Amino acid sequence: MRCPEVEVEMKGKRRLLPSGLIDDPVATKQRSLLRLLWVAYNRAVPPATLIENMALEHPGHYENKLKRLSMWLKADSPLGSALSHTPGVISEDDTLLIRCGADVASNEQALKFLIDHDHHPLVERSRPRIIHSIGYAILMLFIAMMILLFLGTFILPTLRQIVEELEIRPPAALMWLDWLINGLSGIWQLAIFLTMGFVFSLLFEDVRQFLKSRPIVRRLFHYSADEHAALLKLFAFPIGFQLSLAKTMTSAAQHHPNRTIRAKLLRVRNQSSDDAELWHSLARHRLIAPSEAQHLSQISDSGVLSWTLIQLANQKKTRTAFRRDRIIGVLQYLPVFFVAVPVIVSVLAIFMSLTSMVTL
Is 209 in the same domain as 83?
no
Is 269 in the same domain as 324?
yes
Count of the separate structural domains present in the chain: 2
Q: What angle do CA 178, 180, 181 make, to 5 degrees?
A: 70
Is 157 in the same domain as 28?
no
- Give residue 145's pLDDT: 74
Is 291 in the same domain as 192?
yes
**Listed ranges 33-37, 207-211, 336-340; the one with the highest mean pLDDT:** 33-37
121 or 240, which is more confident:
240
Is 275 in the same domain as 142?
yes
241 CB-near residues (< 8 Å, 6+ apart): 104, 105, 109
**Strand, helix or coil for residue 232:** helix
The mean-pLDDT minimum among 188-192, 225-229, 271-275 falls in 188-192
Confidence of residue 251 (pLDDT cuts 50, 70, 90): very high
Domain of residue 43: give its range: 4-90
Is 158 in the same domain as 209?
yes
- Give residue 128's pLDDT: 63
Could you tell me if residue 341 is inside a domain? yes
Could you tell me if residue 214 is inside a domain? yes
Is 82 in the same domain as 139?
no
Could you tell me if residue 311 is inside a domain? yes
Q: Examine the fold and report which residue of 90, 111, 131 is the final residue of a domain before the chain moves on.
A: 90
The mean-pLDDT minimum among 126-135, 233-242, 267-276 falls in 126-135
Phi, psi dihedral angles at 257 (to 5 degrees): -70, -20
Is 190 in the same domain as 288?
yes
Is 23 in the same domain as 139?
no
- Give residue 1's pLDDT: 43
Could you tell me if residue 253 is inside a domain? yes
Is 52 in the same domain as 172?
no
* Dihedral sign computed on CA atoms, order 185, 189, 190, 191: positive
Decide if pLDDT at 277 tops 70: yes
Query: What count of residues does the chain have?
Result: 360
Is 85 in the same domain as 129?
no
- Give residue 230's pLDDT: 92
Is 319 in the same domain as 175?
yes
Could you tell me if residue 327 is inside a domain? yes
Could you tell me if residue 118 is inside a domain? no
Could you tell me if residue 116 is inside a domain? no
State the Rg of the chain over Cα: 28
24 or 311, which is more confident:
311
Q: What percentage of the chain has pLDDT greater than the value 70?
A: 84
Decide if pLDDT at 99 tops 90: yes
Decide if pLDDT at 110 tops 90: yes
